[in-house]
Amino acid sequence: MKVPVSWLKEYISFDISAHELADRLALTGTEVERVGRAGLPATDGNLDRFVIGQVRSKAMHPDAAKLSLCDVDIGGGKTEKIVCGAQNFEDGDKAAVCLPGGVLPDGRTLEAAVIRGVESHGMMCSEAELGLSSEAAGIMILPEDAPIGGRLIDYLPVSDEVLELEVTPNRPDCLSVYGVAREVSAVLDAPLMPEPVEDIEPRGDDDVEELIYIEVADPDLCPRYAARIIAGVNVGPSPAWLKARLVAAGIRPVNNVVDITNYVMWSLGEPMHAFDLAKIAGNRILVRRAMAGEKITTIDGTERALGKHMLVIADNQHPIAIAGIMGSEDSEVSGETTDIMLEAANFSGPGIMASSLELGLRSESSTRFEKGIDPELVPKALAMAARMLVELAGGRLVPGQYDIYTGPPSPVAIHLREERIESILGLPIAGEEAEAILARLGFGVRREDSAMHVDVPTFRADVTREIDLIEEVARVFGVDAIPSTLPSGMRAKGGLSEHQAAERGIARRLADSGLSEVISYTFIAPDFADRLMLKDEDPRRRTVPLANPLSVEQSVMRTLMLPSILQTVALNLAQRNQDINIFELGRVYLPVSSEKLPLEKRTVAGCVCGSMRGESWTGGGRVADFFTGKGLVENAFAAVNGDFQVRRAGEPFLHPGKSAGIMVAGEPAGYVGEVHPRVLEAFGIDRPVTAFEIDEDALIGSSAGIVQFEDLITFPAAYQDIAVTVGLDTTAEEIISVVREAGAPLLRSARVFDVYKGEQVGEGKKSVALGLEFRSPERTLTDEDVDAARQKIILLLAERLNATLRA
């Protein structure tokens, strides 16, 4: 909402600068985005270089047929020679003269110049040059009462400071200059002028009701509909001051009729509409919901299909306006219009908002109505607009009017307890002070001991409760006076839950292991399922789709983290980043058919691509592979003192031989594996990636809990290495499991430290070397103890796995 300061001063006078006012408003609840300037720059005496001049003589330029050479009286006995290209003036016309050095709104500086051999000492300005309209063909002719030699700024608001306000949605009353003036009055404690709504006498012996019939069929969407008729208007350009005002407020001037309705809307906050009476078919207006299949072409030239719940203003044949949003092209006021029907109405906020959202069409009118505005503004707006139309467009107010009203809103009266103010704010504010503040804001206040009886004005429908009044008092009093304390009754204990602490531990461990954390958008492209080669029946193909995505690339919620991970890898490779080792703690979103909301599964995912240890003069890094990924998964589990098993994964997007399903307590909990080459191709990745994805709840749930002490010191362990030759298909897990069984109870751990395939062990065989640790909690083991255990292990390995001891 742009509020030109000169306009504001019509309703309230104050001495402080616009910037000071902006600060005061900002601290009392009216945010000021910026204080700008509209029109001519005001710096360095620029405004003194724009004066009112009168053409004394206009002669042809000696060397240019299209130029004239003028003597222009600029007051104080001075006459300047000015070369002018426009033709629309004569001797005696008054014009806005820009003297050399003057800076125009577009930033251009006018210099004295020699034009076709003749010196020109200024410029007579067009409206376009002054930024008032796009009218550039001729100069702007000023009315006769313009004082010769006077500063233009003192005659026309061609330069104005403008407060750009960000009005919160609860305060539609401040979407008007008068409403802002009321705030300023309360904040500065300065008197407010009366509203500019003095009515004008009608003329003629006809009557509105003879000229038009109006009916409201849907009063639920239209609590009030009022209309007047102005006959015999001359539609044409508005006077310069009105254009200047509108331009400063950011509104494009159109013609006097439209400009006046806009001016009234800006002044009072009541949107209005002017219809060409001659274009209302059947002289009949019906305010009703649109009918199936109805369409309208709005004044912006767009044809729009109307929904059945949208309110329209219709004539005998078809809608001529979408109520409160935009009028139709074919009922628009034009140059031929002579009689107009002026509409001021009150439409239901939610109704306007729903229509506006559905049509994707917002206007200054709809942004006001959707917030719910005061129905009592209707007659005021009609009075103000009628007067201006008669005075500025030469019309006649036809006697009579329509005012179809479901009745004024029920009065709101609230009890405000003085002690309640302190108990909410933690700051006492005296009753007299609170009373004065509320009165300045337009509330009616009666004191009754320590309570106040407050009548809420109709323009403050946002105030319905005691707490709302406390806010009003607090903000105008100044919330900065509130002291700083901490809650006195604090007896809750803060902290992370076990799960939250574990989650942080996992993130920290993965980062410490060399992975960098990424955060990716949770909505992805729907073709992810095809790119991952998911089977048709894979439940992860069922997604939570967005109804209104920004793009198809971000249109479904992910059911797997992998697409996000691979996208990040591709992006980084495209940026020539090396070694893309990343993780993300995020959610996947799985629809649950019986539930409204999907299951949001927290997931720990990541990948390695390249080396974990960058190139270095101390030796290069190994290219990360499946076992790098598995090691990282092991680290994640170790972070929570948890454990997992693996089994061959059947994930279609992974390398079938280099991938594993992660199992926790016998249940699937994720995967780790090299990504399938075809999937990498689908994501535009040209090198191997090993990825993992773990269900976070399962991961944290695998925790063995608090680590229990074990005495590893008193009785030392005995260590033994063995190497056995087994078939190529025998897994490490199988070997370990046999070793554990045979080695119990003295065997404490068994770990594979070498695997060898080659000539020395023969075709179809491999050698696996294990480090064994034996330990007893009760005594130091003897060589005999260990030899016996070792012997049992070798025997069972031979029996179960056909393993032979390697010499």
Partner 1 sequence: MNNLTEELKAHPGLSDIYGEASADVEAAADPESLEAVRVKHLGRKSPLLQLLRSIPKLPAEEKPVAGRLGNQVRAALEQALLTRKQELEESQLRERLAAEQVDITLPGEPFPRGHLHLITQTLWEIEDIFIGLGYRIAEGPEVETDYYNFTALNTPEGHPARSSHDTFFIEGHPDVLLRTHTSPVQIRVMEQEDPPVYIIAPGRVYRRDSDATHTPMFHQLEGLAVDENITMADLKGTLEVFVKSMFGAEREIRMRPHFFPFTEPSVEIDVSCMICEGSGCRACKHIGWLEILGAGMVDPNVFGFVDYDTDRVQGFAFGMGIERIAMLKHRMTDLRMFFDNDLRFIKQF
Q: Show contacts with partner 1 in window 353-382 (CB under 8 A).
A: 353-354, 356-357, 370-372
Q: Which of 66, 107, 111, 491 binds partner 1 (CB under 8 A)?
A: 491
Instruction: Using CB under 8 A, count the residues that bind partner 1.
Output: 100
Stretch that binds partner 1, among 66-74, 175-183, 423-431, 650-658 (CB under 8 A): 423-431
Helix (H) or strand (E) holding 52: strand 50-61
CB of 480 to partner 1, least distance (A): 6
Q: Figure out which of the listed residues 521, 627, 719, 753 binds partner 1, where binding follows CB under 8 A.
A: 521
Question: With binding defined as CB under 8 A, does residue 765 bind partner 1?
Answer: no
Q: How far apart, in whole angstroms, are the C-alpha atoms of residue 793 and residue 574? A: 53
By CB under 8 A, residue 475 contacts partner 1: yes
Stretch that binds partner 1, among 77-85, 111-119, 247-255, 489-497 (CB under 8 A): 489-497
| Near partner 1 in 582-641, by CB under 8 A | 582-583, 587, 589, 596-598, 600, 612-614, 616-618, 621
- Contact mark string toward partner 1, 315..354, x via CB under 8 A: ----------------------------------xxx-xx
* Residue 113 or 511 with smaller CB distance to partner 1: 511
Q: Which residue in 76, 301, 335, 487 binds partner 1 (CB under 8 A)? A: 487
Which of 27-35, 130-138, 297-305, 666-674 is the region at the interface with partner 1 (rule: CB under 8 A)? 27-35
Residue 507 binding partner 1, by CB under 8 A = yes
The distance from CA 232 to its chain's CA centroid, rounded to whole angstroms, is 46
* Cα 669 to Cα 498, 560, 566, 664, distances in angstroms: 20, 13, 20, 6
Please pick, from the candidates 59, 424, 552, 712, the single residue that binds partner 1 as defined by CB under 8 A.
424
Token code pair at residue 249: 């407020």
Q: Which of 15, 145, 493, 764 binds partner 1 (CB under 8 A)?
A: 493
DSSP bridge pairs for 601: 588
* β-strand partners of 119: 114
Binding mask 72-111 for partner 1 (x = CB under 8 A): ----------------------------------------
**Alpha helices, DSSP H, located in 649-701:** 677-682, 696-701
Candidates 504, 535, 647, 678; binder of partner 1 (CB under 8 A) is 504
Angle between helical axes of 732-743 and 783-801 (0-180°, round to 10): 140
We find the least distance from the C-beta atom of residue 350 to partner 1, in angstroms, to be 3
Distance in Å, CB of 340 to partner 1, minimum: 31
Buried b (16+ CB within 10 A) or exposed e, 677-696: eebbebbebeebbbbbbbbb
In angstroms, what is the minimal distance from the CB of 249 to partner 1?
A: 22
Single-letter code of the amino acid located at 451? A
- 547 lies in the binding site for partner 1 (CB under 8 A): yes
* Closest of 135, 114, 126, 100 to residue 69, by C-alpha: 114
Instruction: Single out the residue of 219, 549, 652, 771 in contact with partner 1 (rule: CB under 8 A).
Output: 549
Q: Is the dihedral of CA 595, 598, 600, 603 positive or negative?
A: positive
To partner 1, the closest distance from the beta carbon of 169 in angstroms equals 4
Q: Which is nearer to partner 1, 612 or 769 (CB)?
A: 612
Q: What is the DSSP letter of 217?
A: S
Residue 397 near residue 440 (C-beta atoms within 8 A): no
Only one residue has tokens 């045979």, namely 742
Gyration radius (Cα) of the chain, Å = 41
DSSP track, 122-152: -EEPPTTTTTS-S--SSPPEEPTTSPTTSBG
Window contacting partner 1 (CB under 8 A); options: 205-213, 301-309, 383-391, 425-433: 425-433
Token pair, residue 15, equals 């001495």
Which 226-285 residues touch partner 1, going by CB under 8 A? none
Instruction: Give me the amino acid identity at 214.
Output: I
* Closest alpha carbon to 626 in 662, 601, 602: 662
